[in-house]
Amino acid sequence: MSPIMKEIVPDLPMLAFSQSPNLKKMFVRASVNNRISNLGSSKHCMKSCRLCKDLVNCSVVRSHSTGKAFKVKARDVDCSATWVVYCIFCPQCGIQYVGMANHRSALQRVVREGVGL
């Protein structure tokens, strides 16, 4: 700035810009709400398959032998889930069987044929 302008305007004016509100700013939140209330298994199969009929809604599985509790960390696990660690228990004797299925047909086969407890 020239010396003459410094005498006329000693302090530089401050310029600011503020964007007017638009529809996106009015209707969309900036933060994502991390809901953890729907963790665990759920029954929302449109077909009445045997897998969903026998599914127990839970967010924690407790081992009968050790007493240790395991949280189900996935959301909305149902009969169409893949790569599932499952726990099958006998309501008569209380024996539990833990296994893994990588696709739906493997889990259906376990339920259909049984696990040979």
Contacts of 79-88 with CB under 8 Å at 24 or more apart are 79/45, 79/49, 79/51, 79/52, 79/55, 79/104, 79/107, 79/108, 80/45, 80/104, 86/110, 87/61, 88/115
Backbone angles phi, psi at 77, to 5 degrees: -75, 125
Q: What is the pLDDT of residue 16?
A: 76
Span 83-110, pLDDT tens digits: 888 888 888 888 888 888 887 777 777 7
Q: What is the pLDDT of residue 117?
A: 46
Q: How many residues are listed for the chain in this entry?
A: 117
In this model, does residue 65 exceed pLDDT 60?
yes
